[in-house]
A and B are shown apart, each in its own frame.
Chain A
Amino acid sequence: MGLLRRLSHASEYSDLVKHLAIRDLKLRYERSALGFLWTLVNPLVMIGIYSFVFSMVIRMGVDRFPLFLVPVLLPWNFLVRCISVVAPIIWQSGYLINRASFPSESLIFSGMLSAFSEFCLEMGLFVLILVLMGAPIFPGALILPLVMLMHLVFVTGVVFFFALGFVYYRDTQYISPIIMTAWFFLTPVFYPVSYVPEQYRFLYQMNPAVHIAACFRDPLYSGTLPPWSTLGIAAAFSISLFVFGWILFTEHKHEFAEVI
């Protein structure tokens, strides 16, 4: 399948990916004086609201709810941002794709890069707060960079599928919010997996995000390493989604100039 060839071809365009990502970040932050602070306002507001609703209105019975919520909410936000901002990039870049011959996945990779840098910033700040609060996050947190990289691979894979959807079907823009809402509630963002009835558990765990959520929550909430089986399943899901998504994408990318 020539995955290595694909990779080496993409690396030829690493400068393009880099400059597109820089452009992205610059355009978003240069002109607003508060810059990166705006990225933090959104999660902070969400954390406040979720914490109020799920620990005071609907009492989930989860100890230290914000600490339970945030390790999974941040990765989830990253996924949502990528689906809504990065995935439509190809579809929106018809002008570029029709006029220049460059690998169109570089648009995806650059979008992922700028979104991921924001995600890293959020996670870094959160870990810093945990440390300052004296939360027991070691040694589990040591595995966090690895988990974040795995999450990046996973989300990139998902984005490839959505990007193709946006290119080929006009109604993807209406379907994707529905999918994301369903996916949100079927992922243990604000409730523990143990609340899911036993008889649905197997079906529930078909959702790869369940395992990825565990990889983020175990180290940061309980301070333990996630079980190797969970890590393995999450990694297997991530890598296969990425590889399959990328292959599907590259098989179709020569049609983009015509379809868009």
Chain B
Amino acid sequence: MSSLRSSSLPHRDTAAIVLRNVSKDFRRYQGRDRWLRREMLDMVLGKRKETETRTVLRDINLEIRRGETVGILGRNGCGKSTLLRLMAGILQPTSGEVRRVGRVCALLGIGTGFHGELTGAENVFINGTILGLSEKYLASIMPDIEYFAELEGFMDTPLKYYSAGMQARLGFAVAMCAAPDIFLIDEVMAVGDEGFRLKCLKRLQSAIAEGITIVMVSHDIDALRKVCTRGVWLRDGSVHMDGTIEEVAGSYLDCFYGAGQIEVSAV
């Protein structure tokens, strides 16, 4: 059932992200952490170091073209987040090759680097520079961020006085205003109230119209349907299905609710 990618998808020539034969193993050392004293003891005792490897992704081939919006589905632990982190360059593949064209912004957690003692504006600078933006650019989009996050008048208040929703809005606003070429989003759409979520969606859609590439991981199938045109179903670390989001989401849901119920235990 692989490579169901239909020809109805818009064809653009340049690739944004290419994964070729990508596999990822995680090494697990005997215990949890490595201790020098244990390794020295093992060396003295002549014990061989036993490392266990767990294959999280196996031989992934994916080509994401510029302007494509891809939703990644799959059950917990199937390797979705690992795939996204490989695309972001946070992790390196054990074998195979990951190629990126353009500036990537990975939104894998809201407000990475935020600190409660710092003001909203200061946190924007920290968070934004971590995302790879320059100070000058951040200063120029600061009003935009402030407006988008609906935090007018709060930017000089320390973050610890913000509500959880305000903090999340600020984090999301930075990423939304960052205008990357490739936007990787991991399960963070459920931010703020209905109004703010709608605004994010609109912002994403206008970015899509401008040709941004989006790869999104979510368990919220509706959100994926709204944003993405293509769907990739990951199962046991490999691509189980690749096609339009409707097809893939449909089959994915079917296997829980519909005809394929027998599969559930195996998925």
Contact = CB atoms under 8 A, between A and B. Distances in A.
Interface range on chain A: under 10, 10 to 19, 20 to 34, or 35 or more?
Answer: 20 to 34
B122 interface: yes
B117 A257 contact: no
Interface stretch (A98-106, A128-136, A229-237): A98-106
A20 B126 contact: yes
Nearest to A27: B117
Interface in B99-123: 104, 106, 108-109, 112-113, 115, 117-118, 122
Given A23-B118, A254-B92, A100 B131 contact: yes
B261 to A, nearest CB: 36
Contacts of B130: 16, 96, 100, 102
Contacts of A40: none
A171 B40 CA distance: 12
A101 B35 contact: no
Contacts of A255: 92
Given A30-B117, A169-B34, A258-B26, A99 B122 contact: no
Contacts of A171: 35-37
A59 interface: no
Contacts of A254: 91-92
Chain A's interface: helix, strand, loop or mixed, by majority?
helix
A88 to B, nearest CB: 14
Given A23-B126, A96-B113, A100-B112, A170 B91 contact: no
Interface in B114-145: 115, 117-118, 122, 125-126, 129-135
Looking at A97, A168, A170, the one whose CB has the most chain B CB atoms below 10 A away is A170
Interface residues of B, number: 32
Interface stretch (B3-11, B82-90, B161-169, B227-235): B82-90
Contacts of A169: 34-36
Contacts of B125: 15, 19
Nearest to A26: B118
Nearest to B133: A15
A77 B180 CA distance: 43
Interface string A79-118: 0000000000000000111111110000000000000000
B94 to A, nearest CB: 10
B263 interface: no
B27 interface: yes
Contacts of B104: 101
Interface in A1-49: 12-13, 15-16, 18-20, 22-23, 26-27, 30-31
A234 to B, nearest CB: 30
Nearest to B111: A99
Nearest to A260: B33
A163 to B, nearest CB: 15
B16 to A, nearest CB: 15
Contacts of B109: 95, 99
User: Considering residues A15, A22, A27, A255, which has the most beta carbons from chain B within 10 angstroms of its beta carbon?
Assistant: A15
A63 B135 CA distance: 51
Interface in A201-260: 254-255, 257-258
B85 A257 contact: yes
A105 B37 CA distance: 27
A169 B133 CA distance: 33
Contacts of B126: 16, 19-20, 23
Contacts of B131: 100, 102
A172 interface: yes
B106 A170 contact: no
A15 B35 contact: no
Nearest to B100: A101
A59 to B, nearest CB: 41
B222 to A, nearest CB: 25
A168 B34 contact: yes
A23 B115 contact: yes
9 contacts: A13-B132, A16-B130, A18-B135, A23-B115, A31-B117, A97-B90, A98-B90, A100-B112, A101-B89
Interface of A: 12-13, 15-16, 18-20, 22-23, 26-27, 30-31, 95-102, 168-172, 175, 254-255, 257-258
Given A23-B122, A101-B104, 16 more contacts: A12-B132, A15-B133, A26-B122, A96-B113, A97-B90, A99-B106, A99-B108, A100-B113, A100-B131, A101-B132, A168-B34, A169-B35, A169-B36, A255-B92, A258-B27, A258-B91
